[in-house]
Amino acid sequence: MLHNKLTSGDLAGECAVKAMVDSLSARLTSRYILYVETLLVDLWSAEGFIEFRAGFTLRSDHILHDMTVKVPATSATNDVEREAIIVAIFEEIEAAIDDAVAGNRVAAN
């Protein structure tokens, strides 16, 4: 499951950003299909900030693991900078999934 929300006005190139978020979300979902039950990524743009809200549940524990990353919109003024920020945030999401999966494996042993 994937959910993205962009509000109008503050984020240039919203369609390209949404497409990139959708693509990276789909990749994470397919990469962790054995472990992740649900993945949600909300993308908000308001008051000069871009905010990513991510949450996932693992098939093994059904517990919501969530995180929020907020970056100033001025830190991403062109497509290259926006892509770099989005990729970095998805790397953080992937690390959180890895940590949760590893934690569950340790707890199971």
Which pLDDT tens digit goes with each residue over 57-73? 999 999 999 999 998 98
Per-position b or e across 8-19, b if 16+ CB within 10 A of its CB:
eeebeeeeebee
Residue range of the domain that includes 62: 14-108
The pTM of the full predicted model, rounded to 2 decimals, is 0.79
Phi, psi of 18 (to 5 degrees): -60, -40
Cα–Cα distance for residue pair 26/75, rounded to 1 Å: 25
Q: Domain total for the chain?
A: 1
* pLDDT per residue as tens digits for the range 38-48: 999 988 877 88
- The answer as to whether 83 is a domain residue is yes
Q: Which residue, chain included where needed, has tokens 């299909």?
A: 33
Cα–Cα distance for residue pair 48/2, rounded to 1 Å: 24
pLDDT category at 16 given cuts 50, 70, 90 is confident
- The answer as to whether 4 is a domain residue is no
The CATH number covering residue 93 comes to 3.30.160.40
**pLDDT value of residue 108:** 63
- The answer as to whether 6 is a domain residue is no
- Give me Rg for the CA atoms of the chain: 15
More confident residue, 48 or 4: 48
